[in-house]
Structure 1
């Protein structure tokens, strides 16, 4: 038992850096909130998406569907998916495995009297410099969409 425990302790300096590196590859998020009415935030979000040449590919009205199905009070939750095929092609030409990040997604929720808008950001610390540059530019677009939707 002591030998096993000692072996594990000896391996920690090797194992832990791998865990830390794995954490860096997790999704990053950008979030903003407002006291504007929920429906206004959704309308502004859709406007911000289309004004930046993205097409909305899906809108899931999770909160309202739960309210209707179960006939209960339930907060608002929505997700909106969107894509720009020109940008999608550029990203996939640079990094085919980046398909996992498609389509872009924004989540909207009511929480404590506020509306919270959150989006996934693309990782910018990969081993592919071209993809990192693309991700930085794309992340700015995503942040602008979120910010526009919550502005007064």
Structure 2
């Protein structure tokens, strides 16, 4: 998890850049705030789910276990909390552990390292941490 004192929109842009630097593209984007407002009339803080995918890692995983697609892409959440923006990423090691396919572990570990590096980049590019 990364917690930064930057504006939500600025943080989203930095997250996208940091993910791209680690070989991840954003395949899906869910604006939870807008969806809940449109469908239920509920107001909430900024909350965005980005479906991040590293094509090379995804390909390797799919070659080993076709059902891994059920666990792809890796979700990254960007949300506001008090006076900060929080960025969180799923732990691919946890997802892969449910497949009982040991050959997927190295791929999950690479994905985890890439996501962690992206979060570190978000923190480093922030003026100061909260």
Identify the TM-score tier after normalising by the shorter chain: 0.7 to 0.9
**Stretches of structure 1 lacking an aligned partner (at least 5 in a row):** 1-30
8 Å CA contact 1:61, 1:79 repeated in 2 = yes
Q: Which residue of 2 aligns with 1:59?
A: 29
Aligned length: 121
Question: Aligned with 1:75: secondary structure?
Answer: coil
Segment drifting more, 38-47 vs 72-81: 72-81
Contact map agreement 1:34 1:116 (CA 8 A) in 2: yes
Mapped pair 1:123 → 2:119 = no
* Superposition deviation, residue 73 in structure 1: 5.4
| Separation in 1, partners of 2:23, 2:109 | 18
Structure 1 vs Structure 2 CA RMSD: 2.4
For 1:43-122, list aligned pairs within 5 A: 43-66=13-36, 70=41, 74-122=44-92
Structure 2 segments unaligned to the other structure (5+ residues) = none
Could you say which structure has the greater relative contact order, defined with CA pairs below 8 angstroms and 6 or more residues apart?
2
Provide the TM-score with structure 2 as the length reference: 0.77
